[in-house]
């Protein structure tokens, strides 16, 4: 699989999301993610706005679905999403419902292992239940709790290779990665490079970062795309 660069639009208005997405697409980003803050603030309207502005780009709706899986996935598909996210910690019935709704509507299901007691087992469950992609995810609050205790924050890279080896679907790693670490995830066999807080979004205010985002995004896209095909 050719490596993909995805940007998480973790902002709280459609206007901000569209501005950031325009910049990202100009720099070579492949997929756009309607981040959870955007979905909470704008719901289906935010996804529709992205679809109208970017009719050809894949759009990930980061729903973090825990229940009502079929309806949530179907609604996002109808709004223009091409990928929806379900949590491994939800009931297996919910995961199956999201997968069925996604496939019934011609889109893909992504499963997120955030909060699993065993991250590898959580990833395997998601793949076994039919998810098309696995998101290996260390959460924002979890990382901060370690930081506040003065301890090393866990990183998705800690178990990324084990997760990749455990499943037969593409994997992406999310959660506090530095620029260099994000660019390196294809080296672990994870072809989906996700950019978001704190790389391109300020993690505390959820506002677009003030640095030279064009230069950062262009460099990331060039380096990630240079990997070529990543075996799955």
Domain boundaries, the chain: 4-222
* Average pLDDT across the chain, whole number: 93
| Res. 212 pLDDT band, cuts 50 70 90 | confident
Q: What is the pLDDT of residue 208?
A: 55
Element holding 102 (H helix, E strand): helix 92-104
Task: Give the C-alpha separation, 72 to 84, whole Å.
Answer: 9
Mean pLDDT score, 2-15 = 95
> What number does CATH give the domain 4-222?
3.20.20.70
Give 16-25 contacts, CB < 8 A, sequence gap 24+: 16/207, 16/208, 17/42, 17/46, 17/49, 17/50, 18/49, 18/50, 18/53, 19/208, 20/200, 20/208, 21/50, 21/53, 21/54, 22/53, 23/213, 23/214, 23/217, 24/200, 24/217, 25/54, 25/57
Closest CA to 41 of 15, 75, 74: 15
3-class state of residue 110 by DSSP: strand
Mean pLDDT score, 201-210 = 54
Residue 212 main-chain phi, psi, to 5 deg: -75, 85
Record the tokens describing residue 29, joined without a space. Answer: 């980003």
Which pLDDT tens digit goes with each residue over 125-159? Answer: 999 999 999 999 999 999 999 999 999 999 999 99
DSSP symbol at 208: B
Please list, in sequence order, all residues whose beta carbon lies within 8 angstroms of the beta carbon of residue 156, skipping any fewer than 6 positions away: 136, 137, 138, 173, 174, 175, 176, 177
Q: What is the pLDDT of residue 180?
A: 87
Which pLDDT tens digit goes with each residue over 103-116? Answer: 999 999 999 999 99
């Amino acid at each position: 699989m050719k490596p993909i660069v995805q940007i998480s639009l973790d902002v709280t208005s459609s206007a901000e999301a569209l501005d950031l997405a325009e910049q990202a697409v100009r720099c070579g980003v492949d997929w756009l993610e309607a981040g959870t803050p955007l979905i909470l603030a704008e719901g289906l309207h935010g996804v529709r706005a992205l679809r109208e502005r970017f009719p050809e780009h894949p759009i990930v709706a980061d729903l973090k679905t825990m229940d009502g899986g079929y309806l949530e996935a179907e609604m996002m598909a109808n709004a223009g999403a091409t990928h929806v996210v379900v949590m491994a910690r939800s009931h297996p019935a919910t995961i199956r419902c999201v997968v069925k709704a996604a496939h019934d509507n011609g889109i893909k299901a992504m499963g997120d292992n955030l909060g699993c007691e065993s991250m590898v087992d959580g990833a395997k469950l998601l793949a076994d239940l039919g998810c098309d992609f696995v998101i290996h995810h260390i959460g924002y609050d979890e990382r901060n709790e370690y930081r506040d205790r003065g301890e090393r924050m866990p990183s998705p890279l800690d178990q990324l290779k084990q997760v990749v080896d455990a499943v037969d679907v593409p994997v992406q790693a999310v959660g506090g990665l530095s620029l260099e670490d994000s660019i390196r995830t294809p080296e672990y066999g994870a072809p989906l490079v996700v950019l978001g807080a704190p790389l391109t979004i300020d993690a505390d205010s959820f506002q677009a970062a003030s640095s030279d985002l064009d230069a950062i995004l262009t460099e990331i896209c060039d380096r990630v795309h240079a990997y070529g095909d990543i075996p799955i």
